[in-house]
Amino acid sequence: MKSTYRDDFKIEGYHFGSGEKTACIVGPMRGDEVQQQYICSQIVRELQAIEAKGGIADGKSILVIPSCNPSSMNVGRRFWAMDGTDINRMFPGYDKGETTQRIAAAVFKSLEGFKYGMQLASFYVPGEFVPHIRMLRTGYEDIKSAELFGMPYVTTREPLPFDTTLLNYNWQIWNTSAFSVYAGQTDSIDVEDSRLATEAVLRFLSGIGAIDYSLTIPGYESLTLNEENLVTLTAHHAGIYVRKRKAGDMVKAGEVLATILHPYDGHVLEEIRCEQDGIVFFSHHRPLVLQNALLYKVVV
């Protein structure tokens, strides 16, 4: 698209192999998804090396779109810089609509027809996850294929009305087996989690017969969870948030996971505790929290 500022707005894709539309990987749609951008760059790098060695299977093609929103990333905005709309809430798009609707339409047109689709996604709340694969329960979800990633967890949840505009949802409705890959961080790079996610995508591509690849990190036997069964801990007070436990930590019943302090005199407003033993699945990580903010999700 023509742009008022700097260069024209462009979305670039990397094609590997030829033949049937086997798999596509989509990177950031939001300007703060730095971890996702880094992972996509590593996937492209690995696939270039694999292709140079003749490791892309005959008759298989792979598409990687490293970024769908470079403009917002350039200016440090999470959503579309001009009007604050979210590209990942605009699918399947409308080619005569608002700017983000037209971007979504153009992207979705390029993605239609692929057998498998992977999106490097982020959560709406700031924080970190245990790396996992996430799917919406549309009736078309493919849990068996999700286990090929070898991630610690595979999660599913019922879609809410506004989820019908997500890429994951629309991929499934248009007959693509769709998976959202959550790689721990969003606005910072965790090299270890990034490598785990990169290997997971390559493990999946190897598992479906698209590439010949020797794995360097062993995969997990994935545990499938319904997100509705996770224990959710929220803040009853706003204040300074002091986190004591992070994603992946094992916690005991009654243990203090975090404290919320009064921002003026420092007294403890609240101690965040879980009533059951478990593993921290998600942890809020910003230093300030609002009342009722999501702080933890725990696998029990």
List, in order of start, the domains of the chain with CATH numbers. Answer: 14-226 (3.40.630.10), 230-299 (2.40.50.100)
User: What is the Cα–Cα distance from 115 to 178, expressed in whole angstroms?
Assistant: 9
Strand partners, 155: 134, 225
Q: What is the pLDDT of residue 4?
A: 62
Helical H runs in 81-220? 99-111, 143-146, 167-173, 191-207
Q: What is the pLDDT of residue 8?
A: 84
149 in Cβ contact with 220 (< 8 Å): no
Q: What is the pLDDT of residue 162?
A: 86
User: What is the Cα–Cα distance from 168 to 237, expressed in whole angstroms?
Assistant: 34
User: What is the Cα–Cα distance from 298 to 300, expressed in whole angstroms?
Assistant: 6
Side-chain-facing half-sphere of 8: CA atoms under 13 Å? 5
300 in Cβ contact with 287 (< 8 Å): no
Helical H runs in 81-221? 99-111, 143-146, 167-173, 191-207
| pTM (2 d.p.) | 0.93
The residue count of the chain comes to: 300
58 in Cβ contact with 151 (< 8 Å): no
Q: Quick: pLDDT tens for 225-283.
A: 999 999 999 999 999 999 999 999 999 999 999 999 999 999 999 999 999 999 999 99
Q: What is the pLDDT of residue 5?
A: 65
Reduced to 3 states (helix: H, G, I; strand: E, B; else coil), residue 58 is coil
Query: Residues of the chain whose pLDDT is less than 50?
Result: none
